[in-house]
Chain A
Amino acid sequence: MDLLLLLPFLIPAAGSLFVRTLGQSATEKTVSKISLLSASLHGITTATLFSALVFGSRLSARIPIFAWGDDIFRISLNLDYAGILLLVLISFFFGIVVRFSRTYLHREKRIAHYFSVLQVFASGMSLVALADNLETFFIGWEMVGIASFLLIAFYRDRANPIRQAVKVFSIYRLCDVGLLISVLIEHNLGSDFKFSTLRTLIDSQQNFVVTGSHVIALLLILASVGKSAQFPFTFWLPRAMEGPTPSSAIFYGALSVHAGVFLLFRTSVIWSQIPALPWIVGAIGIVTAVLATGIARVQSTIKGQIAYASATQVGLMFVELALGWDYLALFHMTANALFRCYQLLVSPSAAAYLLELQAKGKFSTVSGFSSESWLPDRLRKSLFVFSIREGFLEELVSAIFFRPLILCGGWTRKPLFLWFSSLGLLGTLCWTMLFRVSPPFPWLISLIGLGISLRAFSAPVPNLTMSVLMASGSNFLLALAAVDHLSFQGLHELMPFLIGVLLLTLAFIPATRIATADRRETAIFFIILGLIGFPITPVFFGEDLVMDFVFHKDSFALAAFVMGFIINGIALITVYANCVMPNKEMSHEGILERIR
C-alpha cells in the first residue's frame, strides 16, 4: 500500500519513456493517447491517495537506492495534507494541459517530444509534492528544471527560444546548487531527517541549529528564490514564455513557479528557527512584489504582464511564509496557480476582448490616467524608465555572477593559461610520483580545474567534443583536488565517479556521429544529463562522495568544486543546445551573449 506513493511519480515517468522510445515513428494519436492515459491514471492515483489520507491511513515509503559504506541514499515519501493538495493541483493541471495540448498541438512536428517532456515534468512535480526528505525533493526539482529547459527550447528553428532556455537553465543551475549542497550537507551530517518528523527532531536535538542548519537554510532559500523567480532573478520568468502556450501555462503560470514556495513551506521549520532568516525571506518577498508589480504595470505584451503579475503574487506568498502564515501561503499558492494558468491559456483572447471593450468605450485607454500620475514629473519618468528596464535585475545578476565568469573566462583563452596549467599539472604529477605524498599546493589543482571549466564555458572552442572534454577534465581535476589532497587513496575512493565521467565523455564522440537526428539527439541528451550531475546518475553520486570528503576539510576545494559544478553545467547545456540546433550561424558565443 505504501508503494502506492510511488505511482504519481512512476506513471508519468513510464509514459514519458514510452513516448520517447516510440520517438518519431509514433503517430500523433498514439502519443496523445498514451499521455491522456498517463494523466488519467495519475488522476485516479491521486484520488485514491486522497481518500486514503481522509480515511486516516498513514502512508510513507523509504526506499534505499544507493549505499556506500554507511552512507545511504534514500527515496523517502510521505503523504500529508500539504502534499496531497499539491498533488491534486498537479493532477488537475496535468489533465487539463494534456487535454488542451492534444488538440492545440495537432500536426506539430515534435508533438512526441512535447508530451514526453510534459510527463517528465508531471513526474518530477509529483515527487516534489510527496518527498519526505531533501534528496527525493531534489530529484523532482531537477526533473522540473530540465523539463522547463526543454520546453522553452521547443521551437528550434529560431535562435531566441534556445538562448532564453540556456539563460533560464543557467539561473536554475546557479540556484539549484543551494538545494544540492544542502542535500549533501544534510547527508554528511548523518542527521537523515524527514520533513514529517523534522519538528520533533529539532525539538529533541537542541544543537541542531548549531550544526550547520543555518547554512542549509540559507541555501534552501537561494534555491526557492531561483525557481520561483524572486528578487533578483525575476527577469527570467517572462523570457521563458517561448514555448507553446499550454506549456507556458502549466510551468510558469501554474506549477513550476510555485515550487519554491512549496520548498519554503516544507522546510519552514528549519529556517524559521533562525532569527534573521524569516526577515530575509520576507524582505525578498516584499522587494519582489513591489518591483514586479511596477514592472508588470508597464508590460505591453500579454504574457510578459502575466509573468510579472504572477511573480508579484509569489513575492506576497514569501511574505506570508515569513510571517508564519503557512496555510494562507498554501491557499494563495493554489488560487494563484489556478488563476494564472487560466489567464495564460486564454491569453490569445485578449486582443478580441480588449479591442471590443475599447470599441464600445468601456475601457479607458485614451486618458492614460493611472495611479502614478500624482507623482512629480521627473520622479514619474524615472520610475517609468526603471520599470521599463525591469528594475535592472538582469544587469544586477550579470554583474554579480555572469560577467565575472566571462571576464575570467577571457583570461583562460590566453596562451599564458595553457602554459600555466600544463606546467602546474605536470609539476604536481611529478611531485606526487616522486615523493609519494600530496603536493604542497593542492589549491593549485583546484584553480587549474576551475580555469579549464571557465574555458569550456566562455570561449568558442574548435568543436563541441572539445568543450565536453574540457568540462569533464575540469570535473576530474576538481574532484581530485578535493579528495584528500590528491592522495592515491582518494583516487581509489573516487573510482565510480571518475569512471562515470570518463565513460560518458568517451560515449559523447560516437554519439555525435549517430546518423538519425532523433536518436543522436536523445543519446547526446542523456550523456549531457549524466555529465551535469543529474540526480541518480553515477556523477551525482560521485559528487555526493566528493562532498563527503571535503566537507569540513578544505573550504577552498569545496568552493572550487561547487563553482565548477555550476559552470560546467552551463557549459554542457550550451553544448547540447548547439548540438540540436539546425541553425548553424548561431554560435556558442551567440547563446552566451544572452546570459551576459
Chain B
Amino acid sequence: MIQTGAHPLFQSPFQEPKEIEVEHLVEALSHWLPAQGPIKNFVHHNTLHAYQNLPFSEAVKVASQTYGARAYLPIDRYQTLYRTGRIKTSDLDWTLSRFEPSPEKRSILKAKMLTSESSPSPPSLAENGLRSHWLKKYGIDLNLRVHPLLFRLLSQYFDQGIAVWRIPHSSEGFFATIYDLVAESAVPLGVLSQPTALNLFELGPVRSIEAVLNEIVGDRTYWLRYLCELALSHPGWSGVVRQVELSPADLVVKRPIRLLELLAVELIAEYCVLESELGKVPLITEPVKSELTSPTGFQAWTSTEDLLFQQIWHEAFEAGYLSDLFLELRKASDQRPQPARDTPRFQVLFCIDDRECSLRRHLESMDPGIETVGVAGYFAVDCVFQGAEDTTPSKHCPVHIHPKHLIKETLPEKSLLRLKKKEPALHPDSNTMIRGWLISQSYGFTAAMKLFISMFKPSLKPPFASSLSKLQEGSNLVVFNQTDQNKDGDYQLGYTTEEMADRVQALFKSSGIRSENLSAFVVLVGHGASSVNNPYFSAYECGACSGKSGSANARAFAMMANDQSVRDLLKLRGYVIPNTTVFISALHDTTRDELRYFVDVELTPESKSRFEELKNYFGQALELNAHERIRKFESLDPKMSPEKALNAVRLRSVALFEPRPELNHATNSVCIVARRAMTKMLNFNRRAFLHSYDPTADPTGEILGSILNAVIPVCGGINLEYFFSAIDPSVYGSGSKLSHNIVGLVGVANGVEGDLLTGLPTQMTELHEPLRLSFVVEQEPEVALQALTLNIHTFEWVKNQWVRYFAISPSTGEIFEFRDQQMIQFQPPKGQ
C-alpha cells in the first residue's frame, strides 16, 4: 500500500540543481511558502495555493510532509462523526464503492477503517533533514539561537508604526541595512558582529549564501534542500517577506526586501553560531545526506494506508453533506409551483456571501413582491477606492482583477470630516518615559472609567473598531468622468459613460435580470463588518472586495445605473431601464445586522413610500436574521425573541472582550449558481454562497464562464482557508487568538519572540466542518463543462478537485458531477 514519489519541487525543471544559481533556488523554494501578506489586506486564499497544480488528494499528502501538518482530520475524529451519525453507513459504503470495486476487499477495508488508530502528523521538512543535524549531533538548537534576534530585526525593519524609533534603514534593502548596522555600531549585534560575519556580509547576499553553503553543505545538490529547511523553519516570516518582495505596495511604509536577503542574513548568523560553538564548522557528512531517500536530497513523500483511510473517511464526510443537499434541492423543486414571471415590486441585489443567504430568505418571506438576487459583492465595479480622509486608495474588487479606475469620496465641507478622537492607550507615544509618566497619571483614571463602563455596558466605537474605507455621512462619490484621460496617479479617475454602461450591463447579464423583469425599485446591498479589538478585522469584510466593505461599489453602481446618459446608451444596446426606475444602495453590517442606505437620486413621492415600506421589511428581516445567527453562538439563548437577538448581536459587536463578534464564513460548504427559484424556499443554514444566474439566457455557457471566473477563486479561496485552518489549527491556522500579539502592524505572533502566524484563529474555525466547497450550477452538463474550460486557471480548481463541481440540468432535473475530466451522472448516497 505504500507509495512514494519525488517532491514536486524536484520534478523538472529542477532535475539538475547543480547548474542552478542561488537566486533560482530561492525562487524555486519561495513557491512553497505561505502566501499571506500583511494583515491589513487579509484576503482569503487557498492555503495550499502552491500545490494547486496537483490533484487535491496528492497535494494534501505532499503538503503535510512539507509543513509537518495533518493531511485530513485525525481518524478518530471521523470515527466519532461516524458514531454520532454525522457520517452515515450509507455515506461510507457509497464512498468505498467509489474507491474499491471488489465487494470483498471493500468490507476488509471498511473493517480496518473502523478500527484504525490515528497516527501523529509527520515531521516537517524543517524538523527532519540536513539542518536538524546540528541539533541532533551537536545539541545546537539554531532556531533558539538565531530566531529571536532575526525576528526582532525583521519586525523592526517591517514596522509600520508600533516602534517609536525605527531601524536606521537603507533603501537598498534588508541585507544592506543589517550590514550597515553591524559595520557602524560599536555595540555588537549578537553573533552578527563576529569578524566572520563581517567578512561574509562584505560578499553581498548571493555570494555569502554560496560561501556558507559551501562550508557547511558542500555538494550543490543539497543546497536547495538546506535553504528550503531554513525558510520553512519560520514559514510565517518567510512568507510575508516573499509577499512583500512580490508586491511592495502592500506596505504603506515601503520596505524593499527579498527572501534571498533574509536567508543570507540568517545563514550568516547560523554560521557564526556554529563557528563559536564548534570552532571549525564541519561539513555535513555523507551519512546524514544519504539518510534522505531521494537522490536530490529532498524528502520524498510517502503514501501510507493511514492516508488512504483518511481520504476515504473524508470523502464519506463530504458525501453525507451532498446527500442531504441534493435531497433538499430535489424536494424543493418537486413541491414548488413554477413561479409566475411577474416583475417584482422590489429587487434587492446582495453579495453571494454565505452570511447573506439567510437575510435574503427572511427578506423574501416579508412580501412575495420582493426578489433577491445574488452577485459578486463588488457589483461589477472593478475599482480602487479612496475615502475622503485616505491618503492612498485601496483595491475594492476580487484579488485576481487588476483595476484601472479610481473612485474617490469627497466631502462638501471640511467640517464634516469625522474627527476621530485620539486614543492614548493605543498610541506608541504613551509608551515613552516622560509622556508615559504624564499620561499614565492623568489618563490612567479615565482609562479605568472606560474599562469599567465597557464591562457592563459595552459600547465601544472607533477608535477600537476598524472603519477603513467606510463611507462617511453626507459624502459624495466621484464616479463620472467625461474622458479616459483624467489620471490620478496610476489610475483613471472615474468612468466614462461607455465604461459605466458596460458595467451595468455586465451585472444584469450575469445575474440574469432581464430588462422586462427589472423592478422599479432596485437596492444594491454591499456588506462590511465592524468589530472591536480584533486584529483580523479585514477577514470579516467582503471577500469579493479584497477584504474591504462593498458599500463604495454598491453606491457607485447605483449612481451609474441612475445616470440618464448611461440609460440612454443602454437603450441603444437594447437594454431599457425605465425612467421611473430608481437604484438605491446600502451597506449591510454583517456583525451588527445593521443597514445604512445611500440615496443618490431624487425620490418621487411614490418611490419614497416604497422605500419606507422596504425599510420596514428590512428592519424585521434583520431581526429574524440575527435570531437565526444566535443559534450558532453557544453562549446565547436560542429562545430569545428576534428583537432581543438583534440587541444581543449588536452588543457583542462592541464588546471589548468578545473574541467572536460573528462567526464569519464558518460552516460554508456550497456555492449555487442558479435561478433564485431553485433555492428560494430552502434554508441553507448560512452555509451557501448563492449566485443568481439564468441558464436559459446562456446557451453557450459564456456568462456562466465569466461568473465562475470570479466565484471559484473567491469562494474557493475562502472555503479552503477555513478548510485547512480547521484541519490543522496549529500549522495551517494561527491557533487561539487569545494570546496573539501584534507585530509591526504586519501580522500577529504568540508572545514577543514567535514567528508570524498565518491562517485563521481557532475562534473563527472551531465550528467549521472542513468540507470542500461544492459548486452546483443550474445548466445542462455539456454547457456547464464548456463554461468551465473557458479559463484554464478556473478549470484547474475543478480538474484537481480543490472544489467539487456539479450541474443540475434545468430540463430534466438530473444531477451531474465533474469526474475524470467529464460530467457524469451523479447518484448521491441515499440516507436512511
Give chain A's interface residues, CB within 8 Å of chain B. Answer: 92, 95-96, 99-108, 154-155, 157-158, 160-161, 164, 238-239, 241-246, 248, 289-290, 293, 296-309, 312-313, 316, 331-332, 334-343, 345-363, 365-366, 368, 370, 372, 377-378, 380-389, 589-590, 593-594
Contact = CB atoms under 8 A, between A and B. Distances in A.
B303 interface: no
Given A298-B156, A363-B161, 17 more contacts: A160-B750, A244-B739, A300-B163, A302-B162, A313-B436, A332-B437, A336-B444, A342-B451, A346-B656, A348-B534, A350-B426, A352-B464, A359-B394, A360-B390, A384-B165, A384-B181, A385-B185
A358 B161 contact: yes
A342 B426 CA distance: 10
A352 B750 contact: no
B440 A313 contact: yes
A244 B738 contact: yes
Nearest to A248: B739
Contact of A313 (B394, B437, B445): B437
B144 A356 contact: no
A191 B444 CA distance: 40
Contact of B753 (A160, A248, A305, A385): A160
Contacts of B343: none
B162 A350 contact: yes
A506 B169 CA distance: 60
Contact of A343 (B152, B425, B464): B425
Nearest to B463: A353
B204 interface: no
A304 B445 CA distance: 23
Contacts of A350: 162, 426, 742, 745
Residue from A242, A246, A309, A389 whose CB has the most chain B CB atoms within 10 Å: A309
Contact of A238 (B430, B441, B737, B752): B752
A381 B506 CA distance: 57
Contact of B189 (A101, A337, A388): A388
Contacts of A102: 657
15 contacts: A96-B455, A104-B658, A244-B736, A298-B163, A300-B155, A309-B432, A345-B657, A350-B426, A352-B465, A354-B745, A356-B462, A370-B164, A377-B184, A378-B185, A381-B184
B248 interface: no
Given A297-B432, A309-B431, A343-B425, A388 B152 contact: yes
Residue from A99, A244, A300 whose CB has the most chain B CB atoms within 10 Å: A300
Contacts of A389: 187-190
Contacts of A362: 420
Interface string B716-733: 000000000000001000
Contacts of B7: none
A170 B90 CA distance: 58
A440 B642 CA distance: 87
Contacts of A242: 739, 750-751
A558 to B, nearest CB: 36
A377 B184 CA distance: 8
Contact of B441 (A304, A335, A346, A593): A335
Interface in B446-503: 447-448, 450-452, 455, 462-469
Interface in B50-77: none
A353 B440 contact: no
Interface string B700-715: 0000000000000000
Given A339-B444, A351-B39, A377-B184, A301 B160 contact: no
A366 B163 contact: no
B749 interface: yes
A381 B168 contact: yes
Contacts of B122: none
Contact of B736 (A108, A316, A331): A108
A239 B763 CA distance: 24
Given A239-B753, A336-B440, A356-B466, A590 B189 contact: no
A349 B437 CA distance: 23
Contacts of B11: none
Interface in B142-186: 144, 152-153, 155-156, 158-169, 180-181, 184-186
A387 B436 CA distance: 18
A382 B426 contact: no
Contacts of A388: 152-153, 156, 189
CB-CB nearest 9 A-B residue pairs: A309-B431, A335-B444, A339-B444, A352-B466, A342-B447, A293-B433, A361-B391, A244-B738, A297-B165
A298 B187 contact: no
A338 B445 contact: yes
Interface residues on B, range: 35 or more
B468 A355 contact: yes
A301 B455 contact: no
- For the complex, would chain B's binding face be called helix, strand, loop or mixed by DSSP majority? loop
B40 interface: yes
A252 to B, nearest CB: 12
B22 to A, nearest CB: 28
A358 B144 contact: no
Contacts of A589: 139
B187 A386 contact: yes
Contact of A340 (B168, B440, B462): B440
Nearest to A328: B441
A304 B156 CA distance: 12
Contacts of B635: 103, 106
Contacts of A365: 160-161, 252-253
B389 interface: yes
A589 B744 CA distance: 32
B618 interface: no
B181 A385 contact: yes
Contacts of B660: 106
Contact of B738 (A92, A95, A105, A298): A105
Contacts of A304: 741, 752
B533 A354 contact: no
A303 B741 contact: yes
Contacts of A99: 455, 657
A384 B659 CA distance: 36
A34 B134 CA distance: 50
Contact of B165 (A105, A298, A309): A298
Contacts of A351: 39-40, 535, 537, 742, 745
B292 interface: no
Contact of B752 (A157, A303, A357): A303
B542 interface: no
B739 A382 contact: no
A385 B188 contact: yes
Contacts of B441: 331-332, 335-336
B163 A297 contact: yes
B197 interface: no
A272 B441 CA distance: 25
A363 B426 CA distance: 12
B657 A103 contact: yes
B426 A353 contact: yes
Contacts of A160: 750-751, 753-754
B678 to A, nearest CB: 36
A158 B143 CA distance: 14
Contacts of B190: 389
Contacts of B160: 354-355, 358, 365
Contacts of A349: 426, 463-464, 532-534
B659 A338 contact: no
